[in-house]
Amino acid sequence: MSCSSYKNSLEKIYMQNLPKTRLIVFDWDGTLFDSTGVIAHSLQKACEALGMAAPTTQEAKHVIGLGFNEAIEQLVGPLNAEQSAAFMTAYRRNYFAGESLVTLYDGILDLLNGLQQQGRLMAVATGKSRAGLNRVLLDGHLRPYFDATRTADETASKPHPQMLLELLDELEVPPHQAVMVGDTTYDIDMANAAGMASIAVKYGAHDEKLLLASRPTVVVHDVNTLTKVLGVQKALL
């Protein structure tokens, strides 16, 4: 589908559907948090620490959103338990060193506040670990915004739809009344498999061409447009 077709689709969906969704499920890295650069750099450094060829930034960003084990296998191939543990240690060391650079995208807090004021449900479906998500929710004082969360280490990794199906079941929302917001094809493929609408954001890990191939319901270019599409403020499309 061409960009002009998506623009027309955006207007139609804004007017008819997405502002009425009861549940908005967000991916975390690259969707709410501007963290993809730090994650990609940390993956590169972890490869170097284990004597492996470092992937390009594009290659490293491509696996963001998967569960850690799935991401590493796609990036460097199968690792034994010792190698996997060493990779995790090196990755965490580099990520924590750069974590001060990781912040919410501009406008995200206003979006979350607006959705909460409307009484709409919000959830997180992420490739992060439970410990990692709990830590950033606590540090950022963001836990009160979300009615439920799922992480890749407690259910199936994206793009399998299991984490979305679990969230829908927990919050008692049918798929047609929910939307997935994410920055990777894994998010969009997961939403499609769960029978949900999806909003692809092009400011994160995957570029627009890649996102369009997964056929999201709509693509948005920035947080301001995302806010309008979700009906938090009047859209000027």
Q: Is 25 helix (H, G, I), strand (E, B) or coil?
A: strand
CATH code linked to domain 3-34+105-229: 3.40.50.1000
C-alpha–C-alpha distance, residues 179 and 176, integer Å: 8
In the chain, list all ranges with CATH 1.10.150. Answer: 36-101
Averaged pLDDT, groups of 10, the chain, 237 residues long: 53 59 95 92 93 91 88 89 91 87 92 95 94 90 96 93 97 96 95 96 92 93 93 59
Give the per-residue pLDDT at 237. Answer: 37
- The DSSP code sequence of 76-142 is H----HHHHHHHHHHHHHHHHHHGGG--BPTTHHHHHHHHHHTT-EEEEEESS-HHHHHHHHHHTT-
Question: Residue 45: which residues within 8 A CB-CB, separation 6 or more?
Answer: 54, 90, 91, 94
**Which backbone phi and psi does 153 adopt, to 5 degrees?**
-85, 0
Q: What residues form DSSP beta bridges with 197?
A: 179
Residue 98: the pLDDT is 81
CATH of domain 36-101: 1.10.150
- With contact defined as beta carbons under 8 Å apart, do 57 and 207 qualify? no
Residues spanned by CATH 3.40.50.1000 within the chain? 3-34+105-229
- According to the model, what pLDDT value does residue 205 have? 87
Angle between helices 36-49 and 81-98 (to 10 degrees): 140
Beta-carbon contacts of residue 121 (< 8 Å; ≥ 6 apart): 22, 23, 24, 147, 171, 173
pLDDT tens track for 44-65: 999 999 999 999 999 999 998 8
